[in-house]
Amino acid sequence: MRRAAAGGGAAGILLRHQRWAPPRAECAGHCGSEAAPSPESAAAPPPPESRPCLPACLPARPPLPSAAATQSRTRSLATPLPVPRQERQPEPPPFAMQPASAKWYDRRDYVFIEFCVEDSKDVNVNFEKSKLTFSCLGGSDNFKHLNEIDLFNNIDPNESKHKRTDRSILCCLRKGESGQAWPRLTKERAKLNWLSVDFNNWKDWEDDSDEDMSNFDRFSEMMNNMGGDDDVDLPEVDGADDDSPDSDDEKMPDLE
């Protein structure tokens, strides 16, 4: 009895390890005429050589992958995932040029515009019949400036000049029609944040006397001889200051 119990315990362990099960009906030809074993035979399983159908009765295990398949799978996992191609962003536009601060005032035969740019370089002033274009590089950082002005009235481009100094660029526009006042500089009635009136030089010349008018005519003649180079000196603009010499003491140039 003790041996049988010991045998039964070993058989139970063997059954658990080998996952032994009663033979199925299709295994009757291999395992015997009976489909199910007797209780005695179930208590003591037969040796492996007496059960040729045991591998067929056990559940099939999946085959182990081959070395080539394992290597291929490892290589596929190591391959980085495809990254979607990003389109190249367009380059940002170049930095837009800012208009230079300017102030202007009106005279009988001329209109003056002063662009307040210090240490200007590459100054370019283009006079057209009804338009003025100004551009330059200013300051130590070579900041780009561009001003385009549609003028209130026509000018004479050939008789218009400009003068550069270290502090500003002064443009002298010869009016197309002398003696016609300009209430504003631009053609359109619009307020520009970079343009202002130079009240220090503004003068209501329409109410001047004939003597003052002759002074402005003389000044116009002097402006005709002014060039656009840096070494050309601009004449005084007012012509009617208290400390200026009397017009009778100066030789009057020929008038047009």
- Residue 176 CB partners (closer than 8 Å, separation 6+): 129, 153, 154, 155, 156
Exposure on the CB side of residue 237, measured as CA atoms within 13 A: 20
Q: Are 94 and 139 in contact (CB under 8 A)?
A: no
Cα–Cα distance measured from residue 86 to residue 81, given in angstroms and rounded to the nearest whole number: 15
159 compared with 46, residue with greater pLDDT: 159
pLDDT at 149 over 80: yes
Structural tokens at position 27: 């295994």
State the average pLDDT over residues 68-93.
64
- Domain extents for the chain? 102-249
Judged by DSSP in three states, 50 sits in helix
State the average pLDDT over residues 7-35.
50
Instruction: Give the per-residue pLDDT at 71.
Output: 62
Cα–Cα distance measured from residue 172 to residue 232, given in angstroms and rounded to the nearest whole number: 13
User: Using CA of residue 28, residue 32, residue 38, residue 43, what is the dihedral sign?
Assistant: negative
pLDDT, tens digit, 9 for 90 and up, residues 86-126: 777 666 555 567 899 999 999 999 999 999 999 999 999 99
Q: DSSP assignment, residue 244?
A: S
Instruction: Give the per-residue pLDDT at 141.
Output: 83
Structural tokens at position 170: 């002064």
pLDDT, tens digit, 9 for 90 and up, residues 221-255: 545 555 444 444 444 444 434 444 444 444 444 43
Q: Which of 4-18, 41-55, 137-151, 176-190 has the lowest mean pLDDT?
A: 4-18
pLDDT, tens digit, 9 for 90 and up, residues 183-217: 999 999 988 999 999 998 887 776 654 444 444 45
Cα–Cα distance measured from residue 22 to residue 42, given in angstroms and rounded to the nearest whole number: 8
| pTM for the full predicted model | 0.49
pLDDT at 18 over 60: no
Among 153, 176, 173, which Cα is nearest to 113's?
Answer: 173
12 class by beta-carbon count within 10 Å (0-12 exposed, 13-18 middle, 19+ buried): exposed
Among 159, 161, 180, which Cα is nearest to 109's?
Answer: 180
Work out the pLDDT band at 17, boundaries 50, 70, 90.
Answer: very low
Instruction: Give the per-residue pLDDT at 15.
Output: 46
pLDDT at 173 over 50: yes
> Position of tokens 């003591």?
44
Cα–Cα distance measured from residue 15 to residue 218, given in angstroms and rounded to the nearest whole number: 131
Structural tokens at position 51: 């059960």
Residue 103 Rama label (left phi>0; alpha psi -120 to 50; beta):
beta
pLDDT at 53 over 50: yes
Among 109, 124, 105, 218, which Cα is nearest to 159's?
Answer: 109
Instruction: Give the per-residue pLDDT at 204.
Output: 77
Residue type, 173: L
CATH node for 102-249: 2.60.40.790
